[in-house]
């Protein structure tokens, strides 16, 4: 299937469907002789896996990764790393009512029109279950980047209309990201978000939100001119995640209300900048400042309530939602956003090593 690979040197190719035997991937471009902390990889998967709290889907999956190649005695060999994650807790019968009907704002209709058939069980290839493969690759990328003192801070900063204020952002304790199931480091706001998600879930409805990410320690010079700008690749990476509908970096859309004299990031004598409206990237190339971006996620399309749609004959029908779905995706999206960011940064780091030695 075209479109199942991401990256240039550090490259991930994924395979599998939500209700198939397994999902998995092949990671190319991993440098050799790197010690891999397998518990850390599994820990990242545990942050994304279903059934971890009352505010996410209750599908129960261990999400245990099995590495098949590219590793020997705990170290990378420099060859392709192959891995699988077995699917265990499938309830395909929950999707029987969708065999002849299309869920609004889902991939059901577009997949069937494009390919002539679709796997209606959980959405098949369009299922967000595929993102577990990205977390495996991202966890490995983060371990390699940590050796270069590059680290990531990723958290939920908005659910519905509940959003962190600028003042609240100034006092965040990022050690508390994992303190609540919402993954918002402001515990008071996290409590409000959790209450809202539970209310929405009880109604059989869904709600959207935003994930914020900051990448610290990125050297000057990552990114390529014209088409392979660093922020463009980050945007592509984030918008490839299921339910992602918006990406903004630095000042983002708020920048349109500013004057250039206010928006320009004035230099310090050491090349750092006094402000960071550029979000750590200028001209498509990292400038050494923290890279800061946000990703907006829409409400999940699958509703656990009755709604009107059409069937294959174009007839209006009523469908009662079934299955186990997230009322809000952003808590589980945090490790996915961070993983995709790590994949992009490592890929550009390796690409840069071809033209200069860091």
Render pLDDT for 322-354 as a digit per residue (tens, 0 to 9): 656 789 999 999 999 999 999 999 999 999 988
d(CA 73, CA 68) in angstroms, rounded, equals 13
DSSP category for residue 273? B
- b/e map 214-238, b = 16+ CB within 10 Å: bbeebeebbbbeeeebbbbbbbebb
Is residue 86, in this structure, part of any structural domain at all? yes
Pairwise pLDDT comparison (304 vs 279), residue with the higher score: 279
Average pLDDT, the chain: 91
Q: Which pLDDT value is given to residue 324?
A: 64
348 within a domain of the structure (yes/no) = yes
Q: Does some domain include residue 230?
A: yes
pLDDT in tens, 79-102: 999 999 998 755 555 555 677 788
pLDDT at 353: 87
- Residue 171 lies in domain: 5-352
Task: Over range 208-228, report the average pLDDT.
Answer: 97
pLDDT at 293 over 80: yes
Name residues whose C-beta falls within 8 Å of residue 357's C-beta, 6 or more positions apart in sequence.
none
State residue 62's pLDDT score. 81
Q: Which two tokens mark 36?
A: 């891999």
Residue 304 has pLDDT above 90, yes or no: no
Residue 148, pLDDT score: 96
Are 181 and 53 a contacting pair, CB within 8 Å? yes
Buried b (16+ CB within 10 A) or exposed e, 13-33: bbbbbbbbeebbbbbbbbeee
51 lies in some domain: yes
Split into its structural domains, the chain has a count of 1
Asked if residue 357 is part of any domain, the answer here is: no
Longest dimension (CA), the chain: 67
59 Rama class: left (phi>0) / alpha (psi -120 to 50) / beta: beta
Domain assignment present for 358: no
Query: Among residues of the chain, what percentage have pLDDT more than 70?
Result: 93
CA 84 to each of CA 18, 61, 67, 137, 345: distance values in angstroms, whole numbers, following the listed order: 13, 14, 7, 12, 24
Q: Higher pLDDT residue, 33 or 97?
A: 33
Q: Which pLDDT does position 101 carry in this prediction? A: 83
Conformational region of residue 56, where left means phi above 0, alpha means psi within -120 to 50, and beta covers everything else: beta
Residue 55 belongs to some domain of the structure: yes
Phi, psi of 191 (to 5 degrees): -65, -40
What's the Cα-to-Cα distance from 23 to each of 119, 201, 276, 319, 347, rounded to whole Å? 15, 28, 39, 29, 23
pLDDT in tens, 133-156: 999 999 999 999 999 999 999 999
Mean pLDDT of 17-38: 94
Query: What is the pLDDT at residue 210?
Result: 98
The domain that holds 204 is classified in CATH as 3.60.150.10
Q: Residue 211 falls within a domain, yes or no? A: yes
């Amino acid at each position: 299937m075209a479109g199942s690979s991401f990256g240039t040197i550090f490259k991930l190719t994924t395979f599998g469907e939500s209700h198939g035997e397994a999902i998995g991937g092949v990671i190319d471009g991993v440098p050799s002789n790197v010690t891999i902390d397998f518990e850390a990889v599994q820990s990242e998967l545990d942050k994304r896996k279903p059934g971890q709290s009352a505010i996410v889907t209750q599908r129960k999956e261990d999400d245990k990764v099995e590495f098949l190649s590219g590793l020997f005695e705990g170290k990378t060999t420099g060859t392709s790393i192959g891995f699988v994650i077995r699917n265990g807790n499938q309830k395909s019968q929950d999707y029987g009512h969708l065999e002849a009907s299309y869920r609004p704002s889902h991939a059901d209709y577009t997949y069937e029109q494009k390919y002539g058939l679709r796997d209606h069980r959980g959405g098949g290839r369009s299922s967000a279950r595929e993102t577990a493969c990205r977390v495996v690759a991202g966890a490995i990328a983060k371990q390699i980047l940590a050796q270069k003192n590059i680290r990531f801070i990723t958290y939920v900063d908005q659910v519905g209309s509940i959003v962190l204020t600028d003042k609240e952002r100034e006092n965040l304790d990022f050690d508390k990201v994992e303190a609540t199931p919402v993954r918002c480091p402001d515990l008071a706001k996290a409590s409000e978000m959790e209450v809202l998600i539970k209310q929405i879930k009880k109604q059989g409805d869904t709600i959207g939100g935003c994930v914020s990410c900051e990448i610290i320690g990125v050297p000057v010079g990552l990114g390529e001119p014209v088409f392979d700008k660093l922020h463009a690749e980050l945007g592509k990476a984030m918008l490839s995640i299921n339910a992602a509908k918006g990406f903004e970096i630095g000042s983002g859309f708020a920048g349109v209300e500013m004057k250039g004299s206010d928006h320009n990031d004035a230099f310090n004598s050491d090349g750092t900048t006094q402000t960071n409206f550029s979000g750590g990237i200028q001209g498509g190339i990292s400038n050494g400042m923290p890279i800061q971006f946000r990703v907006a996620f829409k409400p999940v399309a699958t509703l656990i309530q009755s709604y009107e749609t059409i069937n294959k004959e174009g007839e209006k029908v009523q469908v009662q939602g079934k299955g186990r779905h997230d009322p809000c995706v952003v808590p589980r999206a945090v490790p996915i956003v961070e993983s995709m960011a790590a994949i992009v940064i490592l890929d550009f780091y390796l690409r840069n090593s071809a033209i200069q030695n860091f």
